[in-house]
Structure 1
Amino acid sequence: MSTRWQRIARAQAGDDYAARYAERFRALAGRGGDVHGEAAFVADLLPPPARVLDAGCGTGRVAVRLAELGYDVVGVDVDASMLEVARAEAPQLDWRLGDLATFDLGATFDVVLVAGNTIPLLEPGTLLDACERLGAHLTPGGVVVCGYGLDAAHLPGDCPPTDLAEVDAAFGVLGLDAVMRYGTWGGDAFDPVDGYAITLYAEPRR
């Protein structure tokens, strides 16, 4: 049974969507585009060699860059074909196949990064479970960094938007507050009209 992401990706790019996805970012980088905003954002939060979980890592673009910067990084994704591309790109890195609503790596991380519209692409009804699993992989004092599009213009295919309040509430059940919110990976101020949000979830300061 295919996931929401696989259904949308195949509709847009065919069965070789994983290779096409990776090639799109390689082409962008070749034209001088910045494809490392997420990794730079993490680097501004804390220095290497912090442990980072790239949750929903896809073809590994962000995880590979984080490793190049000196971070101890693990990538996990539900899509085996995306991970196959990631392993071919960086066989030395730790890539795991797992559903974010159920996965258990038996490890914790200083940063749990959830980028690339991973949240709205979750299967229907799994948001709370996924947030619980993401939070369970966080070290005490760590932070979940969650970035995704808020409207149709910033989401692939017919992926339905996920309300920020729903995600805030799901992490709130775990005792993780939305401590900071940005509008871009470059750290620009958040404006809901712009259609994108990056939120930091962490334990509230006592």
Structure 2
Amino acid sequence: MTEQKDRWAELTGGQAGEEYARRFARLAAAGQDVHGEAAFCDALLRPAARVLDAGCGTGRIAIQLVELGHDCTGVDVDASMLAVARRDAPAQDWLLGDLARLDTLGLQPDFDLVLAAGNVIPLLAPGTEPTVLRHLAAALRPGGLLVTGMGLDAAHLPLPEPPFEIQKFDHWCALADLTLLHRYATWDGDPYAPGCGYAVSVHRRPAA
């Protein structure tokens, strides 16, 4: 049986790394803040925390988190994206791997925070979402946080329509024994309300 590609690979063919990096360089040059995700996570963390950037792409967020004093490991399935990350921050830990097989990468379950930003969850291979969320939860220390950011409509996704509703995502998180603590409409912390096109969610793994 042929393994189903993730939605990101279907969109990009696994060759988007350099263009993705140029896009954010243009935004930064135009004066836009491209570090909102890192600032959001930093506000949740103790100093020198352990962070896993799941679906780290070109390393934009992970590199900034290290600049802020944290120990951040990045993992991504797209080799073209990781090539940019390794070029820009060769001393950091970058792992090539499928999040649906995160348990095979030998990571210790001691991360204070696991981040899946940039529509990582909606762009997974269809049907792997519950497995990925279970693996992300398992990578956390007891009491650790899972932070996700995702579009909920076509205006906030590189897809013609959202592959699932936020209620389905919350169900998958509950199956992974994760409890929703907070939900926002932006990385700046704007209030979330039903019908918002974007959701930033903070879930916690049980402390015991």
TM-score > 0.5 by shorter chain: yes
How does 1:30-41 map onto structure 2 within 5 Å?
A: 30-41=29-40
Cα shift at 1:73: 0.2
SS state at 1:120 partner = coil
Q: TM-score, normalised by structure 1?
A: 0.92
User: Unaligned stretches of 5+ in structure 2?
Assistant: none
Q: Name the counterpart of 1:22.
A: 21
| 3-state SS in 2 of match to 1:122 | coil
Q: Is the 8 A contact 1:119 1:127 kept in 2?
A: yes
- Counterpart of 1:175 in structure 2 is 177
Moved over 2 A (4+): 157-162, 191-194, 203-206
Q: Letter of the aligned partner of 2:129 in structure 1?
A: L
SS of aligned partner of 1:179: strand
Selected match of 2:117 from 115, 119, 122: 115
Q: State how far apart, in whole Å, the 2-side matches of 1:30 and 1:93 are.
A: 24
What does 1:71-90 correspond to in 2, within 5 Å? 71-90=70-89
TM-score, normalization: structure 2?
0.91
**1:149 corresponds to:** 151
Take 1:155 and 1:98, find their aligned partners in 2: how far apart are those partners? 23
Amino-acid identity (%): 52
Q: CA deviation at 1:166?
A: 1.4
2:135 equivalent in structure 1 = 133
Give the number of equivalent residue pairs. Answer: 202
Q: Look up the SS of the partner of 2:102 in the other structure.
A: coil
Q: Distance in 1 between matches of 2:54 and 2:192?
A: 23
Pick aligned residue for 1:4 from 7, 15, 22: 7
Post-superposition offset of 1:204: 5.8
Cα distance change on mapping 1:54 and 1:118 into 2, 3 Å: same
Give structure 1 stretches of 5+ with no counterpart: none
SS at match of 2:144: strand
